Every structure is written in C-alpha cells, then in structure tokens.
Amino acid sequence: MNPMLDKLSTLWPEMTLLAGACVCMLAGLSGSAVVRRSPRWIAAVSLLLAGLCVATSSVAEPRHTGAALVGVAGLAVYVKMAIVAVGLLLLLIASQVPDRLRQTQDAEAATGRGGVFDPAGVMRGEFFAFFLLSLCGAMLCAGAEDLVWLFLALELTSLPTYVMVATSRDRAGAQESAVKYFFLGAMAAAVFLYGFALIYGATGSTQYDQIAAFVHAQSASGQALPPLFIVGLVLAVVGVSFKIAAVPMHFYAADVYQGAAGPVTAFLAFVPKTAGFVSLIGLLGPACQANAEQLQPVIWLLWIMAVLSMTVGNTLGLLQHNVKRVLAYSSIAHSGYMLVGLIAAVAAATTPGAVTAGEHLGNGVAALLFYLVAYGLATLGAFAVLGCVTTDQGDEAQTYDDIAGLGQRHPLLGVIMLISVLSLVGLPPMVGFLGKIYLFGSAIQHGYIWLVIIAVLNSAISAVYYLRIIGACYFAKPNDQTQVAVSPAVQLGALVAAVGAVMLGVAGGRLVDAARDAAAPPDAAVVETAPLPDGDAESWSPQWADTSVKW
Amino acid sequence: MNPTWQLTLAILAPVFCGAAGMLLPRKEVGLRVGMSVLGPVLAMWLLGLFVRDHGFEAGVFSIAWMESLQLNLQFNADQLGLFFAFLVSGIGLLIVLYARAYFGPDEASLFRFYPSLLLFMTAMLGVALADNFVLLLLFWEMTSISSFLLIGWERDDPSSVKKAMQAFIVTGAGGLAMMAGLVLMGSHTACWSFSELAAAGVTGDALTTVAFLLIFAGAAAKSAQVPLHFWLPGAMAAPTPVSAYLHSATMVKAGVYLTGRMWPIMAAALPIWPRLIIPLGALTMVYGAFIALQKTDLKQIFAYTTVSQLGLLMCMYGLSAFEYHHQPNLVWDVTQILNHALYKAPLFILAGAIGHVASRELPELKGFFWRGGQAMIMSLVLLLAAYGLAAGPGTLSFTAKEFFFYQIYHAKEAIPSPWFWVLVSAGVATGMFNVAIFVRLFRTLVLDREPSGHKHGHDHAHGGGHGHGDHGHETGIWPAFLWIPGLIIVSFQFVGGLAPGLFDHWVLHHIEPSRFYEAHLPSLLDVAAHLAHPELPLIMSGVAIALGVTLGLAPVLRGVFKDPFDHAYPGFYTLVTKIVGPQAFGFVQRGHLGSYITFVAVSMVGLFFWSFGFDLTAFARQWPEGIVFETDQFSELTLGVLLTVLVCLTAVLLPIVTDRASRVLVLGTCGFAVTAVYYLYRAPDLALTQISIEIVSLILFLLVLSLIPREAPKARMWVAPRVVLSILVGGVMFWLTLTSSLVVRPPNPSMAVNNGTASTLGQYFMRNSHHGIDTEHFPREQLTSGLVDRSQFHEGDGHHDEASLHPGGGGDNIVNVILVDFRGFDTMGEITVLALAAMGVWTLLRKVPRLDDEYCSPGEYGNDAGGFGDYAGEPGGLLRVDIPDPSNSSGDGHAQPAVANRSPQS
C-alpha cells in the first residue's frame, strides 16, 4: 500500500484528538449554555475514542527496523496508551479549571442576567481544545520517524501548554509564567531545531532510518562520526531537554509550575515530559548505531545532565517553602532519574553483546517508560490535591502552611497526598519504589555505579522535602486560613491516580511487562543472537564480568 | 497450606488486623485492643503451624510476583529469620497490651496508634523472613515509613516531628544506599536472594565489596552505628510503647539482622568485613555506653545503651569473620540479640511506666521505690531489667556477654596484638559503664531516700502530653499492664540465666545449634564450673563488674559530656537550607527571564566547545578548501555584502538602543534587509513572503507595545560579559551555519538522496533545479515547456545516471523550485499561517482590547495601559527569540518578576 496511507493508518488516535479539539473549540463558543459547557465531555469522549483506536490498532512492524533504540510501533502504542490513561485522569482533575476563572463566571453571569453572551470571556473551548492538541502532539512524538515530524510534534505538544498556563488562573503570576515559559520554550525549540538542521547537514537525511544507516556506515568503516553530527545531536538533546525540564533547560520549571493552576501544572509535569523523553529515545536511536567510543560526548552530556538535574532539582527543592515550587524542582530531579535509565539504554545499545531485553533489569528504556507512568500518577495526585486547597484570598494553596493539617481536615485528600509523595520518594509499596529499582537497576547493569550512587544520594536528599509535605499534612495544626473544596471529578481523578500508584506498586507486573515489550529491540533476531547468559551452574558467575565500573 | 502463602499470611496478619481495627467504631476500645492483639497472635499461630510442619530449617519458599523486576515472594524461613519473626510478634503482643495501659482508654490515640504499630509489625516480620533482595527492600523501607509515623506521634510538637524526620532521613537514606547495594549485588552476581547468593558463594572482587559497603551502610544507619547513631536518641520523642518496641527489639535490630544474614556469605570472602565492622562496632559500643552514663533521663539512658549494645552486636558479627579451631567463631548468635531484647524492652516499658506516674528524670526519682502504690513493683521490675543490662551473674545477659568475650578471646590469633588488647579494653569498658548505670539506678531509686518535695511531674514526663492526662489514672486491670509486660519479658532473662539447660532445651537448641556452643555448654552455662576454671573472658567480666560498681558510686562523669552529634542533623540542615543552599543556588533561580536566557546561552556555547573539545582537529578537517563565490556579477556580490553588513549592524544596534519603539524599527530594518537579500538572490516569492511577515509582525509589535506600560530605563549591568557572550553565541552560530552548508559528507551508497554527484545540500538543490543545470544538454525551453518527462527526475528511483541528471523541478528559479516542488506543502502551510495572522491583525486593528485589571490582580505588569504610540522602553527578551543570536542574549529590562525564587525558610 501507499506508505503515506500506511502511516496515516497508524494515526487514528491523533486524528481523533484533533477532531475532538476542533469540536471543543467550536462548542465553547456556542450561544447555548448547555453546548458551551460540553467541551470537557467532548474531550473525554475523544480521549476515550483515541484510546479505543490505540487499543485496536494493529501493531504493524515499522518499515525501518534496526534504526532505533526500540521498535517504534511498540513504543508508540505504549506511550499512546499511557497518554490516554493519564490524560483521562488529567482531564478529570482539570475539568473545573476554566469554570473557576472570573472571566468565565462574569460572562456566564451576564448571560444569566439576560445580557449578551461574550464568547471572548469564556475559555472552556480553548482550554480543552488545547488540552487535546497537546496530548495529540505528545502522541505524534511517540510515532515520529523523522526529524521534521518530530519537530512539529514537539511544538504541537508545547505551544498549547503556553496558552493553557496563561489562561489557567486569573492572576498576573499565571501570565508571567506563561511568558517565561513561552520565551524559554521558543529558545529551546530554536536550539533543537538547529541541532536537527546540523544532523541533517551531516547525514543528509531527516529520516531516522537513513540517519541510522549513515551512522552505521561510518561506524562500520571505522571512521569517526562527523563533528557536525555530534554537535547537532548535542544541540538536539539539549534543546529537547527543555521539554523534560532537565538542566540546563530547567529554569522555567519552578516559575511556571508555581504560576499555573494545579491541574495544569500536573499536565505540564506529565505530557511534555513524556513527549520529551520519547523524542530523546527516538533521537538517540539512530546515533546508537555507533559504538560507545564514538558517542562519548553525547553519553557524557547525558551523564552530566542527569547528575546536574538530580542535584540542582533536589537541592533547590530543599530550599523552597512553596509546595508547588518544591514539586517543580522534584520534577527536575525526576527527569534526572529518568535520564539515568536513558544512559543505561544508550550504553546497552552501543556496547556490543550487552543484553538489552528487559528480563534482568537491564533495559533502560523499559525502566524509563515504566517510571514515566509511575511519576505521572504520583505527581498528578499531588498537584490535584494542591489544586483543591484555596487560601482566603482565593488563591491556590502554595506554601507548607497552606496545606497544614490537611490529613485531618480532609482525610481522603490527605491520604492521596501521602501516597503520591511516598511514591515520589520511591518508597514501597507505591509504584515509585519499583520504578526506582527498575531505573537504577538498569544503570547498574551497565556499570554506572557512581551514577546510581549519586542518584541514591539525591533520593535521600529529596526525602527531606517530601517528608516536609507529609509533615505539613499530618503533623501540623490545621490551618483555618484556607478552604478545602473538592469537586467530585477532581476527587475521582486524584483517587484513581493514588489507587493506581498503590496497585501498580503491588501488582504492576502487567505494566512492567508492557514497558518491557514496548522497549523490546526493533528486530527480534537481534535478541536471539545476543550472547545471553547460560543457565548452567558454572556460568552463574558474573554474566556482566566484562562490564567495567563506569562513572 | 502452601508454605509461602502461610508465611505471607503470617506477615500480613498484623496489618490486616490493624486495618480491620480502623473499621471499628471509635468508642469500642475493648474490641480495638482485641483486634490488635489478634494481629501478633495470628502471626505467631501461623508461624507456629509452619514450624510444626517444616521445622526450623525449612529453607526457601518462593512464589513469582514480578519476575522481570526480580521481585518474588521468596522467604527464607531459617533459624535466624524465624527467631526474629517470633521475637517481633511475641514482644509485639505485649506492646499492644502495654500501649492500652499507656494511652489509657483514649479512643483517638488508640485509633491512630494501633494501625501504625501493626503496619510496622508487618514490615518487620517481612524484613525477618524475606529472602529476595527486592522484597527485603520493600519491607525495609516500610519499617522506615511506619516508624516515621510512630516517632512523629506528637504531631502538635514541632520538635517531635523534626526528630521523626531526622530518624527517617538517616534510616531512609541508609535504605536507599542499601537499595543501590542490593541491586548492584544482584546484577553483579546474578543472584537476587540471600539463599542463592549463599549457594553460589561470593568472590572478594571490587564490585562485591562496593555492593557490600552500600548494603552495610543501610544496616549501620538502621542499627545506629556511630556516627549515624544520633537519630536513635532523637527518636525517644516517640511515646514509650514505640521506643520499647522499635528501639529495643525490632527496628534497630534490622541492621544487625541484615549483617547476620550476610556474614555466612561474605564474612570470610571479603577482607574488609572484619576491618570495617569490628572497629566501628567497638567504637559505637564504648561511645554509646559512655554517653549513656552522662544522661539523667531514663529513656535517653536506655537509648544510648541501646546504641552501645548495637555496636556490640555489630562488633560480634565482625569477629565472625575469624575461625577458631576450624569452626566459625559464631553461629547466628541469637543469644545476644535475644538477651538485648529481653532486658531493653522491659527497661523502656518501665521507663514509660514510671514516667507515667512520676517522672523520667533521675533527680526527681530519688527514693521512688518507697513511694507506695505501684512504685515498688515498677522499681523492682526496672531494677531486674537493669541488672540484666549490667550483665550480672544469673542472667542470660551474663552468658551472652561471656559469649562475646569468648569471641574476642578466640580472635586473639587473628588480630594483631595491640589491637586485640584495645578490643579487650573496649569490651571491659562497655561492661563497666553498663554496671555503673545499674548501680546509679539502684542507688537513686532505692538508697536515696530523702524526700524530694516532688509533686507529680506527670505532665512533664510526657513532653507535650498526648491528651490522656484526664484519664491517666484509670482503675481496673489496665494500669497493671504498665509493668506486667515488662515483668513477663524480664523473667526470661532469669530463666535463661539460672536454668541454662532448660532454656537451651526449649529455645536455643532449636535456633542456634552451634557445635561450638554445645561443646562448651556444660562449662559455659554452669557458673560454678566456670568459676573454678577462670579464663580471660571471666576475668574480663569480673573486672568490668568491679570497676563498674566503683564508677557507679563515684560522683564523676555525670552529665559532663554531651553528645556532640546531637547537633549533627540540625546543624547540617541549617547549613544546607540557610547558608550554603541560598548562597550557591540563590543566584541561579532568580525568576528573571534575562538571567535564564543568559544561562541557556552560556551552556549552549559551552556545549559547542565541549563537544568539539573531544576532537577539535576533526572540525578543522571539515573545513573545505576554499569558499568560492559562484557568481559572475560583481554588483550582486557588492550589494549582498552591503546588505549583510546592514543585517549585522542591526544585530549590534539592537542591544544598544534602549527605546522599545526604536528596537522594533531596528528589527524591522533587519527584516527588510533580509528581504532584499532574498530578492537579490532571485527569490522574489520568498521576498514577498518575508516582507508580508515583516509588515504583519511590525504591526503586531506596535499593537502590543501600545498595550504594555511604559518602562523606566534601568541601569545596565554586566555589560562586558554580555558583550562577550553575545559575540560567542553569534560566532558559534555563524560557524555552524557556514559549516553545515559546506560540509562534505563521505559518500554513503545507502542513501538515495546522495546518489549522483551532489555532496552538499546546496549542491543537491542546485543540481536538481533548473538553475544549476547545464543548459547545453537541457535547453531551457525544453525544461520549462514540460517536454522533459518529470517522472524520471524523482529522487530515489536510482535509475538515472550522470548523463541523464535532470532537474527535480521544472521551474526556472532554484528558490521557486525548492519552494514549490520540494517543499510544496510547507509553502502552502506558510501561506495559510500568514493569512491567518493577517486576519488576526485585522481583527485586532478593528478593536483594540484594553488590558485593564478586571481579571488581573495588580501585579508587576503595571496598570497604566497606554493607547497607541504610547510605548516606550522595551522588554528585551520579549521581542523575538527566533534563534539565540547575540541581540537576544544581551537584551535586558524585563519587568521585575512576580514569580521570583522565594527566599528559603527552615
């Protein structure tokens, strides 16, 4: 069949979301109050439909095998499924955001008094349309096989979020954070676009498989990779790291997370991060045709980014008294942890003979994919709870004092917060515990012992500020300066996230397997021929004996 | 029943009962106690059934759980594990009863307390029985969580919460180190459980040592080894039932237990084992006992003696690395662990009980024995337990201490002489301090009979009170349970000490079948025989007792020496959050967009040099032989150069001019100059697009500027560095652009795009468009009239050869061809976007919205929105960030942020 049609046939979920977004946008402007309030339902329906499309999509083998770190189709299905699932929860907790704006309330009130409805005052349509568009972009990132495609997908993920941040709260802070977010985002986009251009210049193609072929040819003939390619890759990785809020592109995170409404912040913490990591997996895939020696600059770059992200994130998180900023820095730190998995994956792919199948904790990509979901659930719960607490000034809860005694004032929210935070620390039986074992295990498997030790030290530092959140919720006198108001939708969304965090921690086998399958190498034959450790008694001894200790 | 499920149920029984208890109505105190008692009872019953069926050496039972994460329900029900499990559930049962007496019939407290306690019990049972590494970690961290909840009991007391956090941070950080260690051990040896590891054996290579060190760090943190011990005295902020449970028999023993699990596997293989553990344990043992002597608060005294005893246990496992007469120096040595639980739990229980009715401060307890009521029996039980602490003859403790001294004695050959005697002195000193503590307790409680004028220091004793003051003096059976659990536990001390044969038959024989032990049994446990043939260990005991009594009576070393580690954690915390943190990181996150952009630009330039730093010469090789201007028209070149200079000039001017409007005009100049360049190089359509965009964006700028308030001019900071940075960024971009367009790629046959002779992108485009075609072969008329079959130009078909090299596009102009043929969809998209933007501008021009403050709380963006033309000043970064060219990185004057990095607070 026509390759174009082939490709299009894998895009039903995205097209569904796109259509949903258009309908939302129109419905939000309707003169009828009932239709005007429908965008959240439209968004929910289109998300469900998209999920159905993903679930029923035949996982066709991608055209180009051997090009990527992982098979594109499997990865795409996993990521799209995760986006749909977490997206539905995000929609639940964000369903009230536009209604809480004073513009909306005033516009509706004016209509109720018999005045003329002012469509400009109501943001519902735009908000949910942008919500869907951003999810659509993240899904497109997962299916990208081309740099240009990737660029468009990444921007489609990010651009709507700028608007969502600006319109999520009627506070100057929201707009300021949106402005910062936009400028830094545009700059990051310029950086990675430049990187893409250089990669194109060096390899002559924007398609992953052709880039991979080029790198493979270079590597096979023993030539060094062109410096231009390395610079391009470095710039691309650094630019994309804006989406995952890793150092040195992390600056926006704290300011933006603080400025945006809680549900939108949860959105920012999950959707662009997922898109960014999936893009990184895709970008690094072709480069991994080279050997580890040739990729040294990139591997070191990732290493430094991981260490700095963890350390900067956790240290700055320690210094905050604003819980949203704390969670923002924790988001930076978690990107650092996930980069550890990515490094393991790159190390595995570039080291001949290393086992990449996920059976022995070895697969960094699988660990990363698993952790993305783990992190998404936990952070969603935490921000949802924060969004439920308002101060006397009508502002969202920000400081530790604002959430003081939440456990007593609203036990359910308290428990959700507790579970979310414990999962973020990585304590059992929450899913974060398994996620961390998986991530760090994959890095250790490839000899990155010091990296893991740094990561573990960082987890210990992070425990301090996470515990302060628990301490504020459970061990402090209830603060009567704040109100706790929970809508059923938010409660449901946060509760499902929290229950998910526990359930996946206790019985996450399915998700682990799914992540492992999603991260399976594109060509099954590769696994077969890889020297798997023998099962007999003599060879129990270090199957990784030649794995030297690396930083 | 499947033995694995049986063990799983035994582990989960307490937490299930705890959860069930939460469902009971709050008023039903009796039911709640019954339900909570059921937890440990069920656990013990299930364990008992298990032992009946499988014995004490049942081995490993496993059920797959999450195999790809190496997580299995795999239990190792050997003597050590089962012993611990019985100890945890047995003492747990008594603590449940004690807690009822301690809290009184206070529904709220019990409602909170029992579930937390039972959760902890489950976690601890899990630690004791888990064989799989990940499963062990899971339970291990659960003990940290539940102990955090228990220690931070007094939630209205900030200092108590801080102490709980301190305990959690230290033990939790240790747990994380252990996680790294266990995962490393697992991936290095491919064994994911202790039993597999034991079967496979370990070699003393570097990775195993690193893994061991990490695991041991976790164990040492949990078992309060110096210098990480400070969390344990701090954890005395917990209510006494918690201290009696966690800090005597269970949680702090987890580290010791883990070391015990490891020693048969690693002690002999790793040279570092004795060298690390013996000195650390010995130091902890002496230090803890020494500080304990200085304290006056009962719980603090017992906390520090616990530290001391934990050091002793660690030291003992360190000594287990040596052999004595070809026998291991040690089998599990549960005697020592059991002994400690059997005197320390009663000590804590009674400390709480006495604090409950009087005070925990020694000076206020003078003559407490004679105060009547329950004072006499409480003092008695306390002193019995303290006698155990002193390892007086006739207790199990005495036997255990003799064991320890024997171990030291047996290591005589293995340890170099001076160090051996240091170790002997450490053992004696520890014994001496413990005896002295007993003597002082005895003297205070019994011999000092002067009336202290003491009124009930009840409230004081509870440090903030947990709200049971009103019903603290209830009647009935429950008050007696303040001391009954203690009495029950301590009685085993004397059974073990006075009837060693009986004790051995019923207890030790099952769990510690040491050939060494049994060979020595007659002489070792029989005091009379022992006295007749004194060896060094007995002499050590004697010396310790004699010196201890003297020291106890002497008025020295009382409250003189404070533990400097008390300030370790608060000091560290203050250092990080108040001093170092803000200093080091405050400048990074200022909430200022300009500084963020500066950082990004710096890191980008840095990365460029860094990624070439690996091979700078390679870059030089990329540089082509010479840059040739392929034009024969001098005017084209001159004009081009002039326009380029103009573009560069605008870039330089942009940061220099300060007025917003001027900047917009400068930008416009830049845009129009670029348009002219396009036109010059025969791209009129692109020029048209560009000029439209320029006009639209200029209008948009002016519109926006009319809406944002005037900006006061600000002084420029850091001018020179900014200039340097700008030049660097510009230089890097210039270099990269030039190189990427000129790069000569090595031929790569696999790429369709590269067949033919085109080796650069520019050449590719040129060759595939009319402009670059040799018109001798392809007359222009033929190409433009469409006579040439376009299909043969399709890239990638691979059929055309050098002679038939044909243009891919039929147009006459390279830019046109690229735009229309190669990038037709792009162009359509561009046109669409442009049209949309124009419509937007048109709408805006029709109705200029006013950015008033209706929906914005007055922020730093100001509120004096001006009309058209009322713009002045300009937020540098706000203008345009297409690519980070120098003009952007040096922009300044962004409004002061409303969202700034908050100053830290404690």
Give ipTM to 2 decimals: 0.81
Task: Tell me whether residue B792 is exposed, middle or buried, using C-beta atoms within 10 angstroms of its C-beta: 0 to 12, 13 to 18, 19 or more.
Answer: exposed
The answer to whether B185 and B211 are in contact (CB under 8 A) is yes
Predicted confidence (pLDDT) at residue B505 exceeds the cutoff of 80: no
Domain residues for the domain of A339 are 291-521
pLDDT at A358: 37
Contacts of A359 in chain B (CB under 8 A): 68
Q: Is B581 in contact with A316 (Cβ distance < 8 A)?
A: yes
Question: Per residue in B481-495, pLDDT tens?
Answer: 888 888 888 888 888
Helix (H) or strand (E) holding B328: strand B327-328
DSSP string, A286-334: HHTTS-TTTTHHHHHHHHHHHHHHHHHHHHHHHH--BHHHHHHHHHHHH
Residue of A nearest to B755 (CA): A204
SS3 content of chain A, % helix, strand, coil (to 5): 75, 0, 25
The answer to whether B709 and B864 are in contact (CB under 8 A) is yes
Contacts of B597 in chain A (CB under 8 A): 183-184, 187
Closest CA to A146 of A203, A221, A230: A203
In whole angstroms, give the CA distance from residue B706 to residue B601.
Answer: 30
Domain-located, residue A483: yes
pLDDT at A339: 94
Which residues make beta-bridge pairs with A322?
Answer: A399
pLDDT at A83: 94
pLDDT at B749: 44
Predicted confidence (pLDDT) at residue B880 exceeds the cutoff of 90: no
Contacts of B152 in chain A (CB under 8 A): 471, 474-475
Closest chain A C-alpha to B628 CA, distance in angstroms: 19
Range in A234-238, B262-266, B567-571, B899-903 with the lowest mean pLDDT: B899-903
Name the pLDDT band for B102 (thresholds 50, 70, 90): confident
Range in A435-439, A545-549, B698-702, B704-708 with the lowest mean pLDDT: A545-549
Contacts of A112 (CB under 8 A, 6+ apart): none
Residue of A nearest to B729 (CA): A191
pLDDT at B251: 86
Q: Is B897 in contact with A176 (Cβ distance < 8 A)?
A: yes
Q: Is A319 in contact with B142 (Cβ distance < 8 A)?
A: no
Print the SS3 string covering B739-759. Answer: HHHHCCCCCCCCCHHHCCCCC
- Provide the token pair at B841: 């501008």
Count structural domains, chain A. 1
Predicted confidence (pLDDT) at residue B625 exceeds the cutoff of 80: no
Contacts of B897 in chain A (CB under 8 A): 176, 180, 255
One pLDDT digit (tens) per residue for chain A, 551 residues = 456 677 777 888 999 999 999 999 889 888 888 888 899 999 999 999 999 988 887 655 444 444 445 555 678 888 999 999 999 999 999 988 888 888 788 888 877 777 777 777 778 888 999 999 999 999 999 888 889 999 999 999 999 999 999 888 887 788 888 988 999 999 999 889 989 988 888 887 888 888 888 888 888 887 778 878 888 899 999 999 999 999 888 888 988 998 888 899 999 999 999 999 999 998 988 888 887 778 888 888 999 999 999 988 988 888 888 899 899 999 999 999 999 999 988 888 877 655 444 344 558 888 999 999 999 999 999 999 998 888 877 778 888 888 888 888 888 999 999 999 999 998 888 899 889 988 888 888 888 888 988 998 888 888 888 988 988 888 788 888 888 888 889 999 999 999 999 998 888 777 888 887 777 765 443 333 333 343 333 333 333 434 455 66
Contacts of B754 in chain A (CB under 8 A): 204
Q: B464: alpha, beta or left, given left = phi > 0 and alpha = psi -120 to 50?
A: left
Q: Is B70 in contact with A360 (Cβ distance < 8 A)?
A: yes
* Substitution target from A182, A316, A326, A532 for chain B, most B beta carbons within 10 A: A316
Q: Is B751 in contact with A204 (Cβ distance < 8 A)?
A: yes
Q: Is B183 in contact with A452 (Cβ distance < 8 A)?
A: yes
CA A248 from centre of chain: 17
Contacts of B172 in chain A (CB under 8 A): 425, 427, 460, 463
Handedness of CA B393, B399, B404, B407 (dihedral sign): positive
Helix (H) or strand (E) holding B62: strand B59-66
Closest chain B C-alpha to A285 CA, distance in angstroms: 18
**Average pLDDT of chain B to the nearest whole number:** 75
Q: Is A422 in contact with B145 (Cβ distance < 8 A)?
A: yes
- Provide the token pair at B339: 């002994």
CA B575 from centre of chain: 19
Predicted confidence (pLDDT) at residue B756 exceeds the cutoff of 50: no
More confident site: A502 or B812:
A502
Predicted confidence (pLDDT) at residue B15 exceeds the cutoff of 80: yes
Q: Count of A–B CB contacts within 8 Å?
A: 312
Domain-located, residue A372: yes
Q: Is A542 in contact with B188 (Cβ distance < 8 A)?
A: yes
pLDDT at A241: 93
Domain-located, residue A437: yes
Average pLDDT over residues B14-43: 86
Domain-located, residue A376: yes
Domain-located, residue A384: yes
SS3 state of residue A532: coil
In whole angstroms, give the CA distance from residue B482 to residue B353.
Answer: 5
Question: Per residue in B57-70, pLDDT tens?
Answer: 777 887 877 777 77
- Provide the token pair at B320: 């287990």
Residue of A nearest to B896 (CA): A176
Print the SS3 string covering A94-139. Answer: HCCCHHHCHHHHHHHHHHHCCCCCCHHHCCHHHHHHHHHHHHHHHH
Q: Is B600 in contact with A184 (Cβ distance < 8 A)?
A: yes
pTM: 0.79
- Provide the token pair at B328: 């291991």
Question: Per residue in B364-390, pLDDT tens?
Answer: 878 787 777 778 888 888 888 898 888
Nearest to A316 among B203, B585, B883 (CB): B585
Contacts of B608 in chain A (CB under 8 A): 231, 234-235
Question: Per residue in B445-468, pLDDT tens?
Answer: 888 776 554 444 444 444 434 444
Domain-located, residue A406: yes
Task: Tell me whether residue A326 is exposed, middle or buried, using C-beta atoms within 10 angstroms of its C-beta: 0 to 12, 13 to 18, 19 or more.
Answer: buried
* Substitution target from A106, A456, A477, A536 for chain B, most B beta carbons within 10 A: A456
